[in-house]
Amino acid sequence: MATAPYASSLFLASSPISTAPRASAGSFPPSAQPFSMRLRPRPSPAVAAAVQAEHQPAVAATPKPPALPFRVGHGFDLHRLEPNLPLIIGGIDIPHDRGCEAHSDGDVLLHCVVDAILGALGLPDIGQIFPDSDPRWKGADSSVFMREAVPCGMWSGEHP
């Protein structure tokens, strides 16, 4: 029966070493372990490579996809409908007995478009760029957000 070839070098292995002083000879504090060494033969390079390959995850080399000449963003907006508020969609006032409750005018369509633009630019969403905690945006026309999103693209290096 053939055995695997081994090189003559050895690995040294030890348990954790504590720097705490010993209480007395032969006794160790609970946090310290006695120092020990274990010698074992080192496998040949072929055996070591086979063992290493066995423990490596198999990852197929995939070519990097080509860069696309465009970017995609996704916008989403949701507002509760409440009585006696204006319903504005896409900048158009829709006659209705309910409208969107919002810090700004609540135009869900323009909010979605702005959110998609910001997302395509890799920027934070509309709520972070135009927070409802900022009094500048109280009751603001959502077309302002559209006008503000274009300069965000200029600052990020993307030009629409």
DSSP string, 83-100: ETS-EEETTEEE--SEEE
pLDDT of residue 48: 62
Helix (H, G, I), strand (E, B) or coil at 40: strand
In terms of Cβ atoms closer than 10 Å to its own Cβ (0-12, 13-18, 19+), residue 143 is: middle
Judge whether residue 121 has pLDDT over 50.
yes
Q: Is 141 left (phi over 0), alpha (psi -120 to 50) or beta?
A: beta
All domains of the chain, ordered by start, with CATH?
81-155 (3.30.1330.50)
Taking residues 94-112, report their average pLDDT.
Answer: 94
What percent of the chain lies above the pLDDT cut of 70? Answer: 57
pTM: 0.55
Residue 68, CA atoms < 13 Å, CB-side half-sphere: 4
